[in-house]
Structure formats: structure tokens, C-alpha cells
Chains A and B, each alone.
Chain A
Amino acid sequence: MKIAVCVKQVPASQDAKMDPERGTLIRDGAVATNPYDLFAVEAALRIREQTGGEVTAFSMGPQSAEKTLRDAIAMGADHGVLISDRAFAGADVLATSYTLSQALAAKGPFDLIVFGRQTTDGDTAQVGPAVAVHLGRPYLCWIQELIGCSEEEIRVRCSGSRGDLECGIRPPCVICVDKGIGQPRIPALKAKLAAKKAPLECLSAADLPDQDPMHYGLEGSATRVEKIYPPYRGEKGFRLQGSMEENADRVSRWLSLAANGEYEGIRWEESM
């Protein structure tokens, strides 16, 4: 089976800054592979273990996104393709998914395209399904478990608003996996060292089938981000960190204070 997995480099810190002019993230700090995409790579590798074939990792981003492709190769991916061009900068979900679909078409066709649930910078969870639509492929999202995989069918368990659903999807298709599929493997030293020197392919705008610049980057985007701000956080939550006995004592003390009308909120230091 010919499998593609899409991975993205994201800011490692939650303190993201925004370019007020372009409405895009400023990516000048520490970066890391999107944590959800590690599960996508893991899913792709597990499927390859069952069906045979090869896994190609794709990443759209600046040259530094090479590191993310090398991470996927260290985990076990066979090839890496970097989709990088200044013309792609500032892309929203529509333009990103279109660019990815063009790159996948250029290097494909693929029997299976795997995405992580979402990225931790955009957080839309829409790119995977949008790529499926651009390519005219069926797709499944929120996959929590890979039940069985063959050339004919990928059988999975998905989570939904009304409970879990066990279903199958026939390749060629797109799947978006969640953390339930199993912990991503950690690369072995030899593989990690080899990945640093693995050859990568680079695709620019000139390599894509559609040559209309209006379909890429900021020009090809249907939306603009006006503002990025941290969500409002209510009263600070905390985890009780003592032993079971200590925690039970604390909760019981707070409850009896509340019962006597003496409860004035929990002191932060009491939770530790």
C-alpha cells in the first residue's frame, strides 16, 4: 500500500505571537513536530506493518520543517517531501489543504493519506478533511483505534458526539487519527542518526499541477485572522498531589467547612 502522512512543524511554546499586518503566526521561536502528527506517523507505520508498502511523509512549511520530516523518517517513514515556496506563505485552511492536495497528486496517487487530528497552532481540525474533498476521496475523522487494515479496507473505531462508531473505509481514502491509536514510537539511535542524513525531496510551486498563483498562500486564502489571543481562563484549577489518604482528608475538611458556611474558597497552597 502506498501511504502518505502529512506532518507539520508548529511553535513549541504556547506563547504564540501574531503579525498584525498579515494576521499570521510569527514563527521565530522554538519549534517542534505537531504532537498530533506523531500519532499520524505511528498510524501510518502500523498500517504499513500490516499491509506492506511504503510511507512518505509530506510537510508544508519553511526550510526548517525539514526537521519534522526527519523526525518522521527516524520513526520509520521511507521518504520525506518538503513542500516549500514563498508563494505558499500565509495560507489558511483552504489554501493549505489545496497546496497539500496538489503535492499529493504530484507525487501520488496514494492509497491512503493519514493526518493527525489537528495542529496545535491552527487548531482547526479541517485540513485533513479538506484535502480529502480536494482529491475527491472518502475520509474518516476522530479515529481512536485501528482495528484491522488490508489493501481492501481500513477498519477503525471513531469517536463521535453520540458515542463510538466501528466502521470501515475503502482505499483510496483519507483518515485523521487521534491519540487513542497508540503511543508514537520513539526512534532508535541508529535510525535517528541516519534520518539526519536521509535525502529529502523538495517541491516548490513550480512542481505542482495547478500553476495559478491565486490558488496558493495568502492570495488563495478565503479567510483572514484578525486577532489571536489566549482564551479566558476561569478560576485556577488544580490537581491534588498528595496521597489518596491526604487528598481524602483535604476534601473532607473543605466539605465540612462548606457545610458549616465557613468555606471561603480553597487556598492554592492547600492543593499541593
Chain B
Amino acid sequence: MKKFVEAYSDRYEEYLRDESRYTGSCEEISFPDTVEAMAETARECLKQGRSVTVQGARTGLCGAGVPAGGHLLSTEKLERLVSVTEEDGRTLVCVEPGMRLSALAAELAARRSGAAFLPNPTETTATVGGAFACNAKGPNGLLYGSVGDRTAEAEILLADGTVMKLRRGEAVLRNGACTLPDGRELRVEGLPADAGGYSGLLSLHEGEDLLDVFAGSEGMLGIVLNLTLEARKLPSEQWGIVFFFGEEGDPLGFAEAAAGAQEEFPGDTRLAVGEYFHETALSMVDSMRSTIQGLAALPDFPAGTRQAVYLEVCGESEDDVGEALMMLLELFTEFGGNEDDTWAGTGAAEMEKFRLLRHAAPEAANVRVSEARLACREITKLAADFTAPAECRRELVELYESGLAGTGLAGSIFGHVIENRMHVNVFAGNEQEYRAGRELLASWARAVAGMGGCVISENGVGKLKRELLRESADPGRLERARAVKEFFDPKGLLNPGNLF
């Protein structure tokens, strides 16, 4: 087993940070190439009281996979597809935790069965394990939910060295308790009725499946050895449309109307994706066409473009989808759009261009943070993915706009507009701006909490957003999260430093 473990040295420096640019430390690092070796390595560490941080592709945005000392266990060599089975009309795909989302998509596409893993976090180089750990959603979370929602089963190494096989539906919190597969009983006092928009440990609520508690728990409850995911057949009709708005247009009004119009779409036609590009995000993406891979292949935006909304519409009937698209086009002109200022594509290959555009928004932000770090090493990513109630959609964007204008800091606003879960990045160029940016984020978190929103969504808490969480989350949720962490990992050895 020793061959997988090495003492930390400078050659592994990049393993000490993720996309957030938050930097940690570790004493040793391992790259096991089988799940058995992974389990054995972890057991040995845990037995000796050494903490273990499990790390995926380092694409995280809040430092959850960045080690806080101890042993760093990389899953990058655990990238195999274990099995594909058909069960009750579902395609179940068992994969190792280090498999990249892009590789999973390619494997399923190569089988030509039409089945795909539908949650589509935009960072496709992320690992399945990492996406499960933060319960990533991606743009089409609107229709297909999160990675956790589509997980049927997980094999998890617990802190006591035992392996727990957790199947959906077999361990559910009822009346504040649930029985684990090993017979133990987990009891949690004062469970609320719903998740409150949170994931993982923070989402604890009555009726919750234990699998959903592990999804989004940032590796703090156990080490995932493999995951069985539910793949589904892609709809036969898939359209992606970018609606570009000039100065006079009202993209937020359009998005809201599109969400409402969905109820009147014929047949099974649905919106799968609803993304917003504020002018701060769109102009940044435009300025980085030559920097971000693949972006140069997009034509120029229509003249006068300020903001945009990207929608994906899907269904089984060509006529029904066509009718829904015409409804959207009418709405677009009603909210100030020019019908020629759209980009439309059908099928995966054409829509890939639009997804690339969407992914360029966070990529452009990451490039800007990296550049700022050349001048000031203290700078990390300053970002949030607050969720506000639907009626506060415009209020949320105005909050960001006024905050940026008031501090004079640059920012970038984009994201899941239909769900009102929008990403905001604040850019600092020096230490003083960095501090101001942190304060700005904290003030937004308080405001969002005041709206009845949720301050932590799909990107997780990790180590960067602990303060935000402490300042704005319901103390009861934190208390219950601590109790469950204590139950599964009493010595606090798994992914220490996250959340609390």
C-alpha cells in the first residue's frame, strides 16, 4: 500500500489549491489506483488518527477539497466505469469517484443507447465524486435536479473503517431518526420540514433520504468508494436558444415570463435550462474570447448586446416544442428583444456552443482571479451562489449592482435565473479591495437571508464560505449538522476544515 503514499513535496504544490485559489497544506499525499487501495490507505490513516482530505479534480470553488493538514487522498486514478445495468426501466451506471463528468458522458454516448447522466454541471472536468460531494446541479438542475438526486446508491467508507452501502429509499429520516444499513440508529432532534434550499449536512430535514445527506456533505461524513448513478434517455427534441437584449430590453422580466409560460407549454415540453448573463458577465466573456478555449469559435454577439438569457427547451414532440419556442419568441419581443438577435441550435453538438458560452462566465472570472493573484497572493475567489425567493429575482440583481457600484469593485453576475440562484463574483486587485469584497459578500449574505433565501447552494461551503454560513444560516441547521458529523466522524478526521 505504501507505494501509493508519498510525503508531501513541492512537486505536488498544485494539489494544495482548487479553482477558488484557496491554498492549504498536507503532510502526505496518495494516488491509489483501485478503490480497495483507496479504502486501505484511508483506513490506515484513520487508525493512526491522521485526517484525510479526499480530493477530486480541484475544480471546486470554495476549497472543500483543499487539505487542511494531514493526508491528501487524490481520486484522480480512480476513473473507471464499473458497470452499466438496466433495472426497472432505468439505466444504472456504477462509477469510481475519480471519473470525470466528461468521461462519463463520453462512455454513455459511445453505448448509443440514448441514455445520459442528465445533471450537467458546467465544469465537465470535475469528477463524479466531487460533483456528489458538493451536490452540484448545473444549468439543467431546473429539470433534472442535482447529482445527488440522480444517485441511486453509494458505497461509502466510514470513519470507523467499515463500508456502508447506501441505497436510495433504504434509510430515510422519519420522526427524527433513521436506521443505518449496519443497524445503528441515527437520531436528530428538531428536524425541520424541508431542506431550506441547502444540500448535504445543512439540508437535514424530516423525510430526507440519508443518501441526500451524504450528497453535498463535502466528504465530511465518509469517503465515497463508488457511486451508482441513474442515467436517463435524452428527450428527442432539444433546443438551446440565446436571447440577446440591448439597452432597452428586460431580460429578467423575460426570464420570469418564460418560467410562467412553461405551464402553458403543450404536451410534455419543458424548460430544462434558464441562465442569465448580466452585462458584467457578458462583457467579460467577450473580452476573453482569445483566452478561453473554444470561445473564439463563437461569432460576435449581435450589435448593441448588453445582456442575455439562455434557455433550453425539450420534449418528445417536434410540433409541441416548436409551439413552445414560438411562445418564447413572442415573449422575447414583448420584453424588448429583436427576434433576429437570437442564436438557436438543436441537439447536443449545436447546444455545446451555448453551454461553452455559459461555462465561459465562471471561467472568465477564474482567469481574472488568477491574474489578480500575481499582484497579491492573499486574493482568493470572492463568489457566492445565493438563492433568493422567486419574487426577489430583480431585487437580488439590484442588490448586486448597487453593492458593486457603491464599493467601486468590479464584478460578474450570471446564473440560474429561473431558479433565482445566481452566481456573483467580486474582483479585487489588492489587499484592501479584497477585504472590501469580503465585506460586500457578507452584507449580501445577510440581505439574502433577510429575503428568506439560502446563502449556500451548489458550490458548497468548503473553507471559504464558513464565515458567510455562520453569519447568515439558521443556527439550528448548523447545530444539527454538527451532531450528525459527530455521529459519523466523532474524531473529525474526514475533510477537516469544511463547513464549521
- Please report A residues at the B interface, Cβ cutoff 8 Å: 12-13, 15, 29-30, 32, 74, 182-193, 196, 239, 242-246, 249, 253, 269-270, 272
Contact = CB atoms under 8 A, between A and B. Distances in A.
A187 B240 CA distance: 11
Contact of B299 (A32, A186, A243, A246): A186
Contacts of A253: 10-11
Given A184-B299, A186-B343, A186-B344, A244 B31 contact: no
A246 B17 CA distance: 11
A245 B346 contact: no
Contacts of A187: 343-345
A249 B293 CA distance: 22
Given A186-B298, A270-B14, 13 more contacts: A12-B349, A182-B299, A183-B296, A183-B297, A186-B343, A187-B345, A188-B341, A189-B342, A190-B329, A239-B293, A245-B370, A269-B31, A270-B11
A136 B143 CA distance: 56
A253 B322 CA distance: 56
Interface string B375-387: 0000000000000
Contacts of B329: 189-190
B187 interface: no
Contact of A189 (B58, B293, B344, B349): B344
Contacts of B110: 15
B297 to A, nearest CB: 6
Interface in B297-349: 297-300, 318, 322, 325-326, 328-329, 339-346, 348-349
A187 B374 CA distance: 41
B109 to A, nearest CB: 8
A188 B301 CA distance: 12
B344 A192 contact: yes
Contacts of A270: 11, 14
Given A15-B110, A196-B322, A243-B373, A189 B241 contact: yes
20 contacts: A12-B349, A182-B299, A183-B296, A183-B300, A186-B343, A186-B344, A187-B344, A188-B341, A188-B342, A189-B241, A189-B328, A189-B339, A189-B343, A193-B325, A193-B326, A193-B344, A243-B370, A269-B76, A270-B14, A272-B58
Interface string B277-305: 00000000000000001001111100000
Interface residues of B, number: 40
Contact of B353 (A15, A186, A188): A186
Interface of B: 10-11, 13-14, 31, 57-58, 74, 76, 109-110, 112, 241, 293, 296-300, 318, 322, 325-326, 328-329, 339-346, 348-349, 353, 370-371, 373-374
A29 B112 contact: yes
A183 B298 contact: yes
A190 B339 contact: yes
A242 B14 contact: yes
Q: Which 10 A-B pairs have the closest CB atoms?
A: A243-B370, A186-B343, A189-B344, A192-B344, A183-B299, A189-B342, A188-B342, A188-B340, A32-B349, A189-B241
A192 B340 CA distance: 11
A15 B107 CA distance: 13
A192 B346 contact: yes
A184 B343 CA distance: 12
A124 to B, nearest CB: 23
A249 B11 CA distance: 10
B74 to A, nearest CB: 8
Contacts of A244: 370, 374
A29 B371 CA distance: 43
Nearest to A269: B76
Nearest to A185: B299
A193 B76 CA distance: 44
A187 B326 CA distance: 15
A246 B374 CA distance: 10
A253 B13 CA distance: 12
Nearest to A245: B374
B124 to A, nearest CB: 13
A190 B338 CA distance: 11
A122 B110 CA distance: 22
Residue of A183, A187, A188, A191 ringed by the most chain B CB atoms within 10 A: A188
A188 B370 contact: no
A11 to B, nearest CB: 11
Nearest to B345: A186
Contacts of A74: 344
B93 to A, nearest CB: 20
B32 to A, nearest CB: 13
Contacts of B345: 186-187, 192
A188 B241 CA distance: 8
A15 B109 CA distance: 11
A245 B293 CA distance: 18
Contacts of A188: 339-344
A182 B340 CA distance: 20
Nearest to B10: A253
